[in-house]
Amino acid sequence: MNRVKIGVIFGGISEEHPVSVKSAREIAASIDTDKYEPFYLGITPSGAWKLCESPDAGWENGRTAVLSPDRGVHGLLVLEPDAYEAVRLDVVLPVLHGRLGEDGAIQGLLELSGIPYVGCDIASSALCMDKSLAYTVARGAGIATPAFRVVTPHEHVDADRLCYPVFVKPARSGSSFGVSKVASAEEMPEALAIARQYDAKVLIEEAVVGSEVGCAIMGERFGLVAGEVDRVALSHGFFRIHQEASPESGSENATFIVPADIPEDSRRLVQETAKTIYRALGCRGLARVDMFLTEDGRVVLNEVNTLPGMTSYSRYPRMMAAAGLPLAEVIDRLVSLTLHGKRR
């Protein structure tokens, strides 16, 4: 049987580059190589594309290759000094997190190339990446969101008129990069400066009181599959995933409880709300929906990750594994769904 040729794109130029590399390594350790022939295409922090044997150390020394937008190629062009080699791909699994990975950029290139790819399309990727737009659409679908305001690049904020605490965050960034919890007007200028390092568009958002919960969603041909709900247990501060020096050994202020230690009716509500959000935002393939569960039992949207981390310590694979779906099966189902042309 001919193996499916699958391109795994990882790395990238965003601040989430190191996490993406770790995700690719977990994919490489889990993918069924009897069924799939993987081609690992890493993007260095400077933007160079490298075809490598694996995402392990030294992958940056691989051969220079590009994803061709020419549908006749339907894959990669591996560049040599005096020639090039075309490598046809059947499907692409993007493992790029953050800017130019989750915002529709790589999806646009893949649409031009005509290569089927796992995950959300251009529109839903861009929508979910921009928290203000995601909140607006979710509200239209009847989903509760934090109260927020958008701050444009040169806009003055009258910090004395705000009710504290609030969160200040880049509108289009991930993994808590550039996020600050602000307790007073005096802290606002620094928080805005930090957020603007990652995006010119900034959100000032109310601090929702409640437990942070998440739900992994996977599209299937006959509906949606929800992983087990998790809960982020904080010892202090706020949740800053991927900010630790060695996240494999645990977070400095957070632990993940999977399945979440919440009432059964709350668990079902979180799962159903996650599915509603997934559909309202036009997601396909996979997404991790992060929410708050308030003391009075309401579920409030936090954010949607359309290409969530797949590392050994990431929440999406943990939630799916707790629901009886190991990463190898998750990969297989996502690729199968994509190749059938019915991504949900």
Q: Is residue 34 part of a domain?
A: yes
Active site residue 156: no
248 among known catalytic residues: yes
Q: How confident is the model at residue 344 (pLDDT cuts 50, 70, 90)?
A: very low
Do residue 77 and residue 182 come from a single domain?
no
Active site residue 97: yes
The pTM assigned to this predicted structure is 0.92
What is the model's pLDDT at position 81? Answer: 85
218 and 333 assigned to the same domain = yes
Tell me: do 134 and 269 sit in the same domain. yes
Residues 139 and 195 in one domain: no
Residues 219 and 333 in one domain: yes
pLDDT digits (tens, 9 = 90+) for 61-107: 999 999 999 999 999 999 988 889 999 999 999 999 999 999 999 99
Q: Say which CATH number the domain at 171 has.
A: 3.30.1490.20
Task: For the chain, give the percent of residues with pLDDT over 70.
Answer: 93
| Domain identity same for 181 and 198 | yes
Domain shared by 168 and 82, yes or no: no
Q: Which of 8, 19, 91, 179 is catalytic?
A: 19
User: What contacts 20, CB < 8 A, 6 or more positions away?
Assistant: 10, 11, 12, 14, 95, 96, 97, 98, 101
Q: Are residues 136 and 38 in the same domain?
A: no
Residue 342 has what pLDDT? 46
Catalytic annotation present for 178: no
Domain around 45: 4-117
How do residues 214-270 score in pLDDT, each as one tens digit?
999 999 888 999 999 999 998 655 555 554 556 655 555 678 999 999 999 999 999
Q: Model confidence over 288-311: pLDDT tens digits?
A: 999 999 999 999 999 999 999 999
- Residue 288 appears among annotated catalytic residues: yes
Name the catalytic one among 313, 315, 318, 335: 313
Residues 231 and 282 in one domain: yes
Same domain? 288 vs 321: yes
- Counted domains in the chain: 3
What pLDDT, on a 0 to 100 scale, did the predictor assign at position 343?
44
Residue 344 lies in a domain: no
Among 5, 17, 25, 97, the one annotated catalytic: 97
How much of the chain exceeds pLDDT 90, in percent?
86
Find the catalytic residue in 22, 25, 172, 201: 22
64 in the same domain as 13: yes
The residues, ordered by sequence, that sit 6+ positions from 158 with a Cβ below 8 Å of its Cβ are none
| Catalytic, out of 154, 236, 248, 341 | 248
Residue 173 confidence (pLDDT): 84
169 is an active site residue: no
Same domain, 180 and 139: no
pLDDT of residue 249: 52
